[in-house]
Chains A and B, each alone.
Chain A
Amino acid sequence: MVAPVVLVIGVIIGYPLVRGVFLSLTDANEANVERNIGVNHLPATYQFTGLDNYKAVLADGVFWDRLGWTVLWTVGCVSLTFLIGLALANMLNRTLRGRTFYRLALILPWAIPAFISVFTWRMLYNEKNGILNKLLAGGGIDAVPWLNDPTWAKLSVIAVNVWLGVPFMLVALLGGLQSIPGELYEAAEMDGAGPWQRFRNITVPGLRAVSSTVILLSTIWTFNMFPVIFLLTRGGPGDATEILVTYAYRLSFLDSPRNFSESAAWGVLILLLLSVVAVVYRRALRKQGEVC
């Protein structure tokens, strides 16, 4: 009965993964892989080079620079997204007029394709002609170089990613909140617990299972959040906002001939990093007895 599952996993996950790992152990690039162009057949001439790519990547300062910023970006985005999502979910988790409208409005960023949102943000951020700076100018404030200054660019990309990520957190946490029985709050209120005490002792423990999962998911997504960075800044200015995946893209798509093998090595390293994060995170939670 598991045969179809094994087959599907093998085809859509196993093959690309194995192929990627294999490429990372070679010196394959666009010029030496096998191609058929019209009547021409160009044979594969790349060679097995063992761990050379990994050695080169790890010895290069670029990898560590990018890793540092990627971690900062991930932690910044996930923590902000989670806190904002939690706050909004709590506000919406009660009967109030127009609740459906608020929920719909907050889910909107999720309904728009990410690249459209990002392009819109890019227009807003335009230093010379963007609406954000026009608004600031109205208030007599100097233009902010949103995407043209390393620090501002970092803040800008984080802001967009948080904006994109909050709806997911909101929905997930709202679901979690609604699964907490109302009787618990009533009982606590009867015992004289204040709002903060109720939040600390009922809401937070009640949300643990949901929040640990969404934080892990969000960490993985953010770590690999290619479209926001690439479409907003292309990793710039300079390489200030370049995360690991956008750098891997640069190797495999912008250089000529495209460097498939080194890019694959970056990919495998990213996969390993994320696997380690996931395992350590799960284990830490299990130790606290929070995840079954």
Chain B
Amino acid sequence: MRRGIRGATATALVAGLALAATACGGGDGGSGGDSGGELSGTVTFWDTSNDAEKATYRKLAEGFQKEHPKVRVKYVNVPFGDANAKFKNAAGGNSGAPDVMRTEVAWTADFAGLGYLAPLDGTPALDKTDDYLPQAVGSTKFKGKTYAAPQVIDTLGLFYNKKLLKDAGVGVPKTFDELATAAKKIKSKTGATALYLRGDDPYWFLPYLYGEGGDLVNARDKVVEIDDGAAVKAFKTIKSLVDSEAAVTDATDGQENQLKALKDGTVAMAVDGPWDIEGARAGKAFKDKKNLGVAPVPAGSTAQGSPQGGWNLSVYAGSKNLQASYAFVKYMSSAKVQQQTNEKLSLLPTRKSVYEVPAVKDNEMVRFFKPAVDGAVQRPWIAEGNSLFEPIKVQMNKVLTGASSPEQAAKAAGDAYRKLLKDYK
């Protein structure tokens, strides 16, 4: 460990990491295929679901074996934070990549652009495509081909502790200004801080940015938008929320700290997504499950918006067992599995038909999140989409710690984007 990354060894390291990944990932896919019409062999599936979700996903994935007894599903849980790099190491090094991976919506174009994914058009993987929500399909396309099947769609909402807001005598804030005003009451009446603001994850900056009418880039006209006035205002908003003590924040471990603060009732509100519903309900503040309320993310000075996110299922181009992999993707994105995912985890389906199922329709979280998803802002589905986040992370840290002014931060992020996106204005 006492060794850094010298440029000279960078390539060697990539290969090394790929080898390390082999140990826990790949293995022989088995020749498989459809010998005599029946699928066989092994399908390695990298799942990125979190601790509260992974047991359910493992069970669902292994359910595939009931339908295809000769196929063995090798379920591997890869933490979300490592999954992108791990897949690239394995895929680029050509060893240890999984057959099927649960890819974040922004990763699909990233991986497809590098040639790591198998196009799915015309394969059994894509089934009843008319049934998919149109916005969920957006992120599966890259340069005219389809590289994934949408599995889960999500967006951010405002999770709130009903009891704390009631004790403080305030309503659910509709704008960040309202939130800042309500914060004093919440603090004095309940002792809780109004909001946990994720300062460690740039994805959480998007509602503030959209709230000022801004965006990261305009992919159609190839224009960088992060350094216009909207981002400056957005940086000002997060800074003033933290400075006025309406919000607490962290530069590290935000996922754990936010969930813990919400569960313990030390904060009254947090911007979060459906993936944390199960986790939050496990906390002492939500012993009564009804105490957890969800509302739209507060608006900024000009608009209200939260990013559209979610997960797709993609197939590695180098998979040795493409036929079984396609069938596995078809199964995992089927209406049946999506319905089970929703019942167990309250995650949002990507199929219109699943929303018609009474149990899904009546799910309180679906009732809230479905309209929120319909109104969510689609992100730029370009190969560099995922790389647009790192510069924001650095800059939002700098703004929150006072190392940069909002103006400097917006400009620095814009400069970083132009370096990354060579043909953008």
Contacts and interface: CB of A to CB of B under 8 A. Distances in A.
Contact of A16 (B8, B110, B387): B8
Given A245-B5, A267-B8, A237 B398 contact: yes
A90 to B, nearest CB: 25
A267 B10 contact: yes
Contacts of A265: 7
Contacts of A221: 2
Given A38-B317, A114-B1, A126-B257, A240 B7 contact: no
Contact of B5 (A122, A126, A226): A226
A35 B92 CA distance: 7
Contacts of A238: 251, 394-395, 397-398, 401, 403-404
A226 B319 CA distance: 33
Contact of A257 (B1, B114, B316, B397): B114
B3 to A, nearest CB: 7
B250 interface: yes
Contacts of B69: none
Nearest to B261: A128
A271 B8 contact: yes
Nearest to B97: A37
Interface residues of A, number: 62
B318 A38 contact: yes
A76 interface: no
A114 B3 CA distance: 11
A237 B397 contact: yes
B8 A17 contact: yes
A225 interface: yes
Interface in A73-132: 113-115, 122, 126-129
B260 interface: yes
Interface in B240-276: 248-253, 256-257, 260-261
A256 B113 CA distance: 10
Nearest to A225: B4
A255 B8 CA distance: 19
Interface string A27-56: 000110001111010100000000000000
Interface string B281-312: 00000000000000000000000000000000
A31 B110 CA distance: 10
Given A40-B115, A148-B252, A248 B88 contact: no
A59 B200 CA distance: 29
A219 B250 CA distance: 31
B340 to A, nearest CB: 31
Given A30-B88, A237-B397, A20 B11 contact: yes
A31 B114 contact: yes
Interface in B114-147: 114-116, 118
Contact of A37 (B3, B94, B401): B94
A253 interface: yes
B6 interface: yes
A19 B11 contact: yes
Nearest to A235: B394
A227 B4 CA distance: 8
Contact of B1 (A227, A236, A239, A253): A227
Nearest to A29: B114
A104 B261 CA distance: 40
A38 B26 CA distance: 14
Given A128-B260, A147-B251, A271 B6 contact: yes
Given A248-B7, A263-B10, A264-B7, 4 more contacts: A128-B257, A225-B4, A227-B1, A254-B85
Interface of B: 1-12, 85, 88, 91-92, 94, 110, 113-116, 118, 199-200, 248-253, 256-257, 260-261, 316-320, 383-384, 386-387, 390, 393-395, 397-398, 400-401, 403-404, 420
25 contacts: A16-B8, A17-B8, A20-B6, A20-B10, A35-B115, A36-B94, A37-B116, A37-B317, A114-B1, A122-B253, A129-B260, A147-B251, A148-B252, A224-B6, A225-B2, A236-B251, A238-B403, A238-B404, A239-B398, A245-B4, A245-B5, A250-B390, A254-B390, A257-B383, A268-B7
Interface of A: 16-21, 23-24, 30-31, 35-38, 40, 42, 113-115, 122, 126-129, 147-150, 153, 221, 223-227, 233-234, 236-240, 245, 248-250, 252-258, 260, 263-268, 270-271
Query: What 3 A-B pairs have minimum CB-CB distances, sorted nearest first?
Result: A267-B7, A20-B8, A224-B4
